[in-house]
């Protein structure tokens, strides 16, 4: 059975709402003590390694003054360090600290545990459907790069 454009749009709306709500619920479970933007920046630095403030701002899709404030807040909690670039001393680079990695790990662990507990209440058939859906969602996100 082919899905019409109207049905695809309806599905897109349902998926958007479900993903948004799930993201909100998981953020609440993470209890990282950071704003969503600070947590995102910390995760990006941990994933990408040492970044200039300009690179981080571009990756996070924010203006340089915003990322400067975010990095200052992360630095104040000793979650990142800031230092001069070895090639251009005028450029600041940020790197995640062991404390920052631990904060990320703990938050992610709490989120995963919450979701795993929610999955316990599902039937095997539902779990298989979610496993397939996860693969499809991952593929949708990969295609965007």
| Contact (Cβ atoms closer than 8 angstroms) between residue 85 and residue 92 | yes
* Mean predicted confidence (pLDDT) in 118-142: 94
Nearest CA to 71 among 102, 105, 104, 35? 35
pLDDT digits (tens, 9 = 90+) for 33-73: 888 889 999 999 999 999 999 999 999 999 989 999 999 99
| Contact (Cβ atoms closer than 8 angstroms) between residue 26 and residue 69 | no
Q: For residue 135, which phi and psi values (nearest 5 degrees)?
A: -60, -40
* Mean predicted confidence (pLDDT) in 92-115: 94
Nearest CA to 67 among 49, 94, 99, 30? 94
| Contact (Cβ atoms closer than 8 angstroms) between residue 71 and residue 41 | yes
Q: What is the pLDDT of residue 144?
A: 58
Enumerate the domain spans of the chain: 5-144
pTM for this structure? Answer: 0.77
The CATH architecture one would assign to domain 5-144 is Orthogonal Bundle (1.10)
């Amino acid at each position: 059975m082919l899905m019409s454009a109207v049905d695809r749009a309806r599905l897109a709306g349902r998926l958007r709402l479900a993903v948004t709500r799930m993201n909100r619920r998981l953020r609440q479970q993470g209890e990282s003590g950071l704003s969503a933007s600070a947590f995102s920046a910390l995760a990006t630095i941990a994933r990408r390694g040492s970044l200039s403030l300009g690179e981080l701002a571009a990756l996070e899709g924010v203006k340089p003054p915003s990322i400067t404030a975010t990095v200052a807040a992360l630095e104040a909690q000793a979650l990142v360090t800031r230092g001069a670039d070895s090639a251009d001393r005028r450029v600041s680079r940020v790197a995640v600290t062991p404390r920052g990695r631990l904060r990320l790990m703990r938050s992610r662990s709490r989120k995963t545990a919450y979701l795993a507990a929610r999955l316990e209440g599902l039937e095997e058939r539902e779990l298989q459907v979610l496993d397939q859906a996860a693969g499809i969602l991952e593929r949708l996100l990969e295609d965007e790069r």
